[in-house]
Structure 1
Amino acid sequence: MRAIRQDEFGGPEVLRVAEVDRPVPGLAEVLVRVHATSVNPTDVWHRFSGGLVQRIVPLGWDVSGVVEAVGPGVTRFQPGDEVFGMPRHPLPAGAYAEYVTSPARHLVRKPVALTHTEAAALPLVAMTAWQALVEVAEVRPGQRVLIHAAAGGVGHVAVQIAKARGAYVIGTASAAKHEFLRTLGADEVIDYTAVDFAEAVTDVDVVVDAIGGEYGPRSLRTLRAGGIVVSLASPAEAQLAEIAAPQGKRAQFMAVEADLQGLREIAALVESGQLRAHVDTVLPLEDAAKAHELSASGRTVGKIVLTVA
């Protein structure tokens, strides 16, 4: 089968199309013929430096496709089922390929209303937003939620999930992306290039920060007592908790995990019309390097999707 591989760390140019053996599903696994996958910041991080594992791994965690075969013990799917999900994360999955194996419980049936291209854009970013907002921050109706990089992959999904939970949503983004955020339901938008969000926003209950660095300490200034910053940037942000505690506030670093129930909740939001993925760019699998270049530019609104079959 065709798959994207790399032999060394580096820029997008290290990505290449390779012919590799088709994987075989093991116990409680399924083999999925991939129709589409998508590019996430973690893919770029792993390509450049190996991420936290600091070794070369086959890239890609998002998948939408059709079950080709089932391994021993699988009861949830049969060949021909259309599925989507986030296999194995944070372990390597290798979804930049024509076929990928996945634990059966890391997938759910693809909502009928979604194309494979749309479905592939959702799993990792939606699971990240869901776990940050619902499982870590426990967002409740009426709370004020500040989402940084709100027009990005995680951000634009987090806006919709927070609204579905009944929150008042504030997003930071450049001015050109404000109208897009309003169409997703954002109640307030801030041009971070023109004003200091830490001066413009107060009494926030929850901050979702996918940027890191100075954004963490500055975000603490926007919180009311008891509020929380959920950091998605890197484990280095964990030290933010030490700064937050004396202020009567909280900070928590979070890494997304594959989870069946969360994925079911995401599918339900899609089916109820409360969640959609915005696909900015669609490219064929062989253009993975170009997709990484676009991702690194920071100009993408929503997601970049790679189509496979």
Structure 2
Amino acid sequence: MKGLFCRAAASDAELTFLMEEMSPPDVLCSHQVRVRVKACGLSPLDLKLLRDVGVHRELVPVGREVAGVVLQVGPKVSSFQPEDEVVGILPLDSSYSGLCEVIAVDEYYLVQKPEKLTSVCVAGALRDGLCAYTALHTHARMAAGHTLLVMDGASPFGLMCIQLACYHGLKVLTMSQSAQQHTFLEQLRPSVGVQDPLVVRVIPAQDESSDLLSVVLEETGGLGVDIVVDSGVCLHEDKEEKKLLPHKHDIISVLGVGGHWVTSHQDLQLDPPDCRLLHLKSASVSFLNPEVWTASSAQQGRYLHVLKDIVEKMSTGVLRPQPEEALPLYEATVAMETVQRHQKKKVVVQL
């Protein structure tokens, strides 16, 4: 049985991905379950994060968002039975690649998969759903009546944020990077209920005449937004980069009093004027790291509750991710190289 692994190198540019033989243990631990994997989502590998949390391996397993069927359960497992369909995210220190045909994983990292959901759909969207929940619920403490600005609404993560926020009664604004994205975002409608647009205003980032601050102030009556969620930030006045990413000063400027900025930028640097503006608005900044759930067991119960809620909302149509085309296993190595170079944000492999 083979799985996909990454061979660590001196620099991330020299990473190599290869298929290696691996076999699951014959005897399961008390709370482990043996799962036959049916689909696995591939996301970019963050080797720096692994080193920071003390995971040092020459071969790093690749593919952690898995969906499959339980084959066998350990003696103290209480949540699952054989033939149950499950979905989950393998922990950072897992020795298994999600592309192995059979894996062994603790029951505390899995939840039941609803029958309505396909394995490919849930494996491809689970991580983005978790990021959206972490950003809006855990960090921003969203509530009905709040105003949200999603900087990259057409991305898988941004789409989850928009749908989740609308479900909870938030007013949503977003930005588009192209005319095609603009049309897609303006046509978003809920699957049930009143068919009003999910987004009240789509701001074209590619249009240089479109001033983000003036549009936001117009839509919020001059107050600014309560929450901003980004997918990356431009730290310097680089014209090429600024076309794709919002500048940090623009984000702080559109925040209202007591507003909250949730950023995905790991190396964010705020200058004294930026901090002063945040202070004047009594606003705050949070760093979005979805791995914190599996890196720490302090809130394991809450984490499982979040995963259950995500798959339930996906099965009822509240969260509707963009469908991902499933790739066969023999294309996994090349596909992962593409994902790692950020040429594609998500790939799903069907086993």
- Normalised by the length of structure 2, the TM-score is 0.76
1:56-135 maps to which residues of 2 (within 5 A)?
56=57, 57-88=60-91, 90-92=92-94, 94-135=97-138
Listed one character per residue, the Cα deviations across residues 70-91 of structure 1 (whole Å, up to 9, x for unaligned) are 1231111011110111232x44
1:98, CA displacement in angstroms?
1.9
Distance (Å, rounded) in 1 between the aligned partners of 2:84 and 2:317: 22
1:20 corresponding residue in structure 2: 22
1:286 is the counterpart of 2:323: no
Distance (Å, rounded) in 1 between the aligned partners of 2:120 and 2:66: 9
Distance (Å, rounded) in 1 between the aligned partners of 2:202 and 2:35: 40
Distance (Å, rounded) in 2 between the aligned partners of 1:277 and 1:306: 16
1:233 corresponding residue in structure 2: 265
Distance (Å, rounded) in 1 between the aligned partners of 2:13 and 2:330: 16
Contact 2:4 2:333 in 1 (8 A): no
Aligned residue pair count: 302
2:216 corresponding residue in structure 1: 201
Look up the SS of the partner of 2:310 in the other structure. helix
1:156-235 maps to which residues of 2 (within 5 A)?
156-175=159-178, 176-181=180-185, 182-183=187-188, 185-195=198-208, 197-202=212-217, 203-214=224-235, 215=246, 216-234=248-266
2:195 corresponding residue in structure 1: none
Distance (Å, rounded) in 2 between the aligned partners of 1:279 and 1:122: 9
Listed one character per residue, the Cα deviations across residues 122-150 of structure 1 (whole Å, up to 9, x for unaligned) are 22111111121112211112221111222
CA 1:38 to 1:228, structure 2 compared with 1: closer, same or farther past 3 Å? same
Listed one character per residue, the Cα deviations across residues 51-73 of structure 1 (whole Å, up to 9, x for unaligned) are 64574421222111111221231
Greater CA deviation, 164-173 or 17-26?
A: 17-26
Contact 1:111 1:270 in 2 (8 A): no
CA 1:137 to 1:292, structure 2 compared with 1: closer, same or farther past 3 Å? same
Contact 1:172 1:191 in 2 (8 A): yes
Gaps of 5+ in 1: none
Distance (Å, rounded) in 2 between the aligned partners of 1:67 and 1:155: 32
| Structure 1 ranges of 4+ moved more than 6 A | none
CA 1:136 to 1:95, structure 2 compared with 1: closer, same or farther past 3 Å? same
2:349 corresponding residue in structure 1: 306
1:295, CA displacement in angstroms?
3.2
CA 1:152 to 1:49, structure 2 compared with 1: closer, same or farther past 3 Å? same
Listed one character per residue, the Cα deviations across residues 242-264 of structure 1 (whole Å, up to 9, x for unaligned) are 56334321111132224101011
Distance (Å, rounded) in 2 between the aligned partners of 1:98 and 1:290: 19
Distance (Å, rounded) in 2 between the aligned partners of 1:149 and 1:264: 26
Distance (Å, rounded) in 2 between the aligned partners of 1:290 and 1:277: 24
Contact 1:4 1:286 in 2 (8 A): no
Q: Once the two structures are aligned, what percentage of the paired residues are identical?
A: 26
2:143 corresponding residue in structure 1: 140
The one-letter amino acid of 1:180's match is: F
Listed one character per residue, the Cα deviations across residues 226-247 of structure 1 (whole Å, up to 9, x for unaligned) are 110112232x338689563343
1:165, CA displacement in angstroms?
1.2
Distance (Å, rounded) in 1 between the aligned partners of 2:134 and 2:5: 30
Contact 2:24 2:104 in 1 (8 A): no
CA 1:101 to 1:188, structure 2 compared with 1: closer, same or farther past 3 Å? farther
Listed one character per residue, the Cα deviations across residues 4-47 of structure 1 (whole Å, up to 9, x for unaligned) are 01223345971111111225642322122111111223x2x33x
CA 1:169 to 1:87, structure 2 compared with 1: closer, same or farther past 3 Å? same
Distance (Å, rounded) in 1 between the aligned partners of 2:114 and 2:305: 15
